[in-house]
């Protein structure tokens, strides 16, 4: 064996395989990942610096589909452009809900994400917000999107309080739980509350 003619591995190949494992099982180990790639665990270290590195690669993979440019140029209204980015951002993560808990422990260096912050900042500036308010607005959106993405990842039992539910909570749970798009509808509801508030703040 040793050194094959064409490499069996690459950062992208590793990230894709790891993401598939996380999607399926909610976690991954280096031995299992190596086995899936028909490779020895130590081989991975020729392409990545450790497990944390793989997690960062998965973040990039998940978010790569976000089209910041489209929202930035095509859309004339700043609020509509920002809303569009938030929706795309959240949808990227909800395609890999079980990845999110792994991401929360690490910081963001992903280019797509930073590109998104850039567009958001420019759009908020265009709306007339000052620097400090811009940082607050981006923070609010980021927090909300990440929290909402976590909601998709959370098991359904999060919302099963057993016998301790009040009548109002019980009715609410019965009305919404198990609905396929429950998390999506709640996300959009809240996003529109936030966007409406930001538009009023701008005026």
Partner DNA sequence: ACCTGAACACCGTTCAAGT
List 20, 80, 135, 202, residue binding a copy of itself (CB under 8 A): 135
Given a copy of itself, DNA, none, residue 79, with its beta carbon under 5 to 8 Å by kind, binds: none
Question: Distance between CA atoms of 42 and 168, rounded to whole angstroms?
Answer: 55
Residue 193 binding a copy of itself, by CB under 8 A: yes
Given a copy of itself, DNA, none, residue 105, with its beta carbon under 5 to 8 Å by kind, binds: a copy of itself
Output the six-digit token pair for 108.
Answer: 């963001």
Residue 18 binding a copy of itself, by CB under 8 A: no
Question: Distance between CA atoms of 174 and 182, rounded to whole angstroms?
Answer: 12
Where in 6-25 is the site for DNA (CB under 7 A)? 7-9
Residue 26 binding DNA, by CB under 7 A: no
Which of 141, 19, 33 minimizes the C-alpha distance to 83? 141
Question: Distance between CA atoms of 152 and 74, rounded to whole angstroms?
Answer: 29
Question: Sign of torsion, CA 107 54 155 176?
Answer: positive
Residue 50 binding a copy of itself, by CB under 8 A: no
Residue 192 binding a copy of itself, by CB under 8 A: yes
């Amino acid at each position: 064996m040793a050194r094959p003619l064409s490499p069996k591995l690459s950062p992208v190949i590793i990230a894709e395989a790891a993401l598939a494992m996380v999607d399926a099982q909610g976690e991954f180990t280096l031995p299992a990942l190596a086995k899936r790639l028909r490779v020895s665990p130590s081989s991975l270290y020729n392409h990545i610096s450790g497990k944390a590195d793989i997690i960062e690669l998965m973040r990039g993979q998940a978010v790569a589909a976000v089209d910041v440019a489209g929202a930035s140029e095509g859309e004339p209204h700043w609020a509509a452009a920002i809303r569009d980015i938030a929706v795309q951002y959240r949808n990227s993560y909800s395609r890999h809900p079980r990845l999110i808990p792994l991401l929360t422990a690490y910081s963001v260096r992903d280019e797509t994400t930073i590109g998104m912050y850039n567009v958001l900042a420019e759009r908020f500036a265009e709306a007339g917000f000052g620097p400090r308010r811009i940082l607050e607005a981006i923070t609010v959106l980021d927090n909300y999107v990440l929290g909402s993405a976590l909601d998709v990842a959370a098991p359904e039992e999060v919302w099963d309080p057993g016998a301790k539910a009040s009548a109002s909570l019980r009715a609410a749970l019965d009305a919404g739980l198990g609905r396929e798009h429950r998390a999506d509808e709640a996300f959009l509801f809240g996003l529109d509350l936030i966007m409406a508030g930001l538009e009023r703040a701008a005026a």
